[in-house]
């Protein structure tokens, strides 16, 4: 009887441990799911490549640590949607693209192709992005109204608050490729 009782106690301990383990597993799974829904996927990478002095592969954490801005976009209902992220120019500067006084000569025959996960592409000239020249405001956004972007938009997207339509605001942005026509 004692042996049976002992075995029963052992069995109960095992069951409790299993329950505890599955509870911890479920909690971890929930946390992982929650985190994946709350912030850009950990595997996310934004590649900055092409004719740049310092090619980059930026993670969500890298973007979070860079200078950030918020822009407000007008909605049809008269409200506003707030996007937050890193100015495109800051990312290009980090890759070694000169803006300001140094943006001259051959650099003005350069452009950047913004490519999305679904192969959508939009081109911007370096001159139009330069704050002293075209001054086009463009944000690589990873938050919408303080929350992660929807799947069809992110993890990151371009937002151009000065554009009249959204066609250049590339969703699901994955790559920025700089091309210089004159070396």
Partner 1 sequence: MLGASLANPRTQQNPDGGEYQWELPKGFPRPKIPADNPMSAAKVQLGRYLFYDQRMSVNGTQSCASCHKQELAFTDGKPRAVGATGELHPRGAMSLVNIAYSGALTWANPTETSLEHQALTPMFSDHPVELGVKGKGEAFIQILHSDPLYREMFAAAFPGESDPFTIANVTKAIACFERTIISARSPYDRYHYDREDSAVSDSAKRGEVLFFSEPLSCFRCHGGFNFSDATDYQGRRGREIQFHNTGLYNVAGPTSYPQPNTGIYEYTKQPGDVGKFKVPTLRNIALTGPYMHDGSAKTLDDVLDHYSAGGRTIASAPNEGNGFHNPNKDPLIRGFKLSTVDRADLIAFLDTLTDDTVIHNLNFSDPRKNRHP
Question: Smaller CB distance to partner 1: residue 4 or 165?
Answer: 165
Which one among 2, 43, 75, 101 touches partner 1, defined by CB under 8 A? 75
Binding mask 13-42 for partner 1 (x = CB under 8 A): ------------------------x-----
Does 72 contact partner 1 by CB under 8 A? no
Which one among 5, 76, 182, 183 touches partner 1, defined by CB under 8 A? 76
Question: Looking only at Cα atoms, what is the longest distance across the chain?
Answer: 93
Question: Smaller CB distance to partner 1: residue 43 or 75?
Answer: 75
Task: Provide the 8-state DSSP code for 106.
Answer: G
CA 135/CA 138 separation, integer angstroms? 9
Binding-residue total with partner 1 (CB under 8 A): 20
98-117 residues near partner 1, rule: CB under 8 A = 116
Q: Least distance to partner 1 from the beta carbon of 174, Å? A: 12
Long-range contacts of 49-53 (CB under 8 A, 24+ apart): 49/175, 49/176, 49/177, 49/178, 50/112, 50/113, 50/176, 50/177, 50/178, 50/179, 51/110, 51/178, 51/179, 51/180, 51/183, 52/92, 52/95, 52/96, 52/97, 52/178, 53/95, 53/96, 53/97
Q: In what order do the strands lie in the sheet with 110-116?
A: 56-58, 46-50, 173-180, 110-116, 121-125
Which region among 9-17, 100-108, 130-138, 164-172 touches partner 1 (by CB under 8 A)?
Answer: 164-172
Which one among 43, 119, 182, 183 touches partner 1, defined by CB under 8 A? 119
Question: Smaller CB distance to partner 1: residue 10 or 145?
Answer: 145
Q: Which residues of the chain form contacts with partner 1 (CB under 8 A)?
A: 37, 75-79, 116, 118-120, 145, 147, 150-153, 164-165, 171-172
């Amino acid at each position: 009887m004692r042996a049976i009782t002992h075995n029963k106690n052992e069995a109960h301990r095992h069951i409790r441990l299993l329950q505890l383990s599955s509870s911890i597993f479920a909690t971890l799974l929930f946390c992982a799911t929650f985190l994946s829904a709350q912030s850009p996927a950990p595997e996310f990478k934004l590649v900055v490549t092409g004719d740049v002095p310092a090619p980059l592969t930026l993670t969500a954490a890298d973007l979070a640590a860079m200078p950030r801005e918020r822009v407000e976009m007008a909605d049809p209902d008269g409200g506003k949607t707030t996007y937050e992220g890193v100015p495109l120019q800051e990312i290009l500067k980090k890759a070694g693209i000169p803006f300001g006084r140094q943006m001259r000569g051959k650099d003005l025959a350069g452009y950047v192709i913004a490519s999305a996960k679904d192969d959508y592409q939009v081109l911007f000239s370096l001159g139009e992005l330069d704050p002293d020249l075209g001054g086009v405001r463009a944000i690589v956004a990873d938050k919408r109204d303080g929350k992660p972007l929807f799947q069809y938009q992110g993890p990151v997207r371009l937002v151009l608050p000065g554009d009249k339509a959204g066609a250049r605001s590339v969703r699901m942005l994955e790559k920025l490729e700089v091309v210089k026509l004159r070396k």
